[in-house]
Amino acid sequence: MVGLDRPLFPKGILPVDHAARIVDANANRAREGLRMMEDAARFALDDQSLAEQCKVARHRMRAAIGALPISEFDLLASRDTPGDVGTGITTALEQNRENGLASIVVAAAKRVGEALRVIEEVSKAIGADARVFETLRYTVYELEKRLVLRLAPPCPQWKLCVLVTEKLCTQFSCSELIKLAVEGGADCIQIREKAMTDSQLLEHCSRLVETCRGVGVDVIVNDHVGIARLANADGIHLGRGDLPTAAARQILGPARWIGRTCSSIDDALVAIENGADSCGLGPIFPSLTKPKPNHSGCELIRAFIAEPRTAHVPHLAISGITPDNVSELTDIGCRGVAVSAAVCGSEDPKSVCQKLVERLSAPTLRA
């Protein structure tokens, strides 16, 4: 038995058998992850360049491991899969691939990055040059970003988004109103509640998300990123004082959409640069639900559509929109609107939605 007054290993030295076992396990883990990333680029995206970069990274890693002062024989001899105490350890997150191939690629890239970091540290302990593994990690981070952004489903250009607030639903329950709105042509629902506690909001959103799933409509949550994630909504809409887009993305992952309210072209450019998937443009007209002192007006829509850096981005005109004034927007090329009071407080929300969609679908004048 090693005495308590003696170090387990001489200072600064990692025994070859221990080093070999760690490197072998992590090299296998990294190769498997890079192969998964390569196959996603090759077979799902048909992207020769991305697939080639993944393959090059895999071969660079193999060459770097071959240059370590551990022979291939030592690596193989150190392998003891039946005796590995970690093979039976799993977590619930390892089974979660709810975002499809994007989730698989994220998990693969994380394994590669972690494995390369382990090999990098072991390389330092055995006196080898670890810089190549550090460089490879940075390469994998960039490949992950490019792959996941390509695999994540693009945000749709909704035509009519109905903003549902419980206190505004004076004629029907929120669930009933959603069903009627969808029958009238609404293709997105936003759940917007300011007064509920977190526990109330989670229960409310979870119920309405289930309603939306039942009628086949996209659903996003206003402001509350964590609630949107827990309720399994399709995305979030954030205002000026809400979480930064990058922080929201960390919580939501790559496959949920993030929209931001923008009152100017500069706001929109910043939002898009920071990773927003869509822009809520306004306020366009005086709000029917709350006073807003400044209005961007239709000129914001004109500018957004005319600007090459924003023209392709999904957008929704917001504030004060009704069947009576929506043609002012469609005439200048607006592709989608968000409506609240005009639908939620109506005795016939289906008919209001039908009128809005009819006007939104009419040929534009592009004045």
Residues 167, 285: one domain? Answer: yes
Picking from 90, 119, 151, the residue at the C-terminal end of a domain is: 151
Residue 364 has pLDDT above 90, yes or no: no
Domain that holds residue 355: 160-361
Residue 231 domain-assigned (yes or no):
yes
| Domain CATH number, residue 299 | 3.20.20.70
The predicted-structure confidence for 270-284, as pLDDT tens digits, reads as follows 999 999 999 999 999
Residue 47 domain-assigned (yes or no):
yes
**In sequence order, what are the residues at sequence separation of 6 or more whose Cβ sits closer than 8 angstroms to the Cβ of residue 280?**
237, 259, 260, 261, 262, 315, 316, 318, 338
Euclidean distance between CA atoms 143 and 159, whole angstroms = 34
Task: Name, of 87-96, 228-237, 354-363, the range with top average pLDDT.
Answer: 228-237
Picking from 111, 129, 151, the residue at the C-terminal end of a domain is: 151
Residue 5 domain-assigned (yes or no):
no
Query: For 188-229, where are the E strands, in sequence order?
Result: 188-191, 218-222
- Which pLDDT score, from 0 to 100, does residue 119 have? 97
| Domain CATH number, residue 43 | 1.20.1260
pLDDT band per the 50, 70, 90 thresholds, residue 263: very high
Residues 32, 127: one domain? Answer: yes
Residues 48, 133: one domain? Answer: yes
pTM: 0.68
As for how many domains the chain has, the answer is: 2
Residue 2 domain-assigned (yes or no):
no
Residues 177, 294: one domain? Answer: yes
Residues 23, 65: one domain? Answer: yes
What DSSP string runs through 62-97? HHHHHTSSS-HHHHHHH--STT-TTTT---GGGG--
Residue 171 domain-assigned (yes or no):
yes
Question: Taking a C-beta distance cutoff of 8 angstroms, is the pair 198, 227 a contact?
Answer: yes
Euclidean distance between CA atoms 282 and 336, whole angstroms = 12
Residue 11 domain-assigned (yes or no):
no
Picking from 99, 127, 151, the residue at the C-terminal end of a domain is: 151
The predicted-structure confidence for 64-114, as pLDDT tens digits, reads as follows 999 999 999 889 989 888 888 877 766 654 555 555 788 899 999 999 999
Alpha helices, DSSP H, located in 231-348: 245-252, 265-273, 298-306, 326-330, 341-344
Residues 79, 170: one domain? Answer: no
Residue 4 domain-assigned (yes or no):
no
Closest CA to 356 of 329, 176, 345, 333: 329
Residues 342, 258: one domain? Answer: yes
Closest CA to 221 of 248, 254, 183, 181: 248
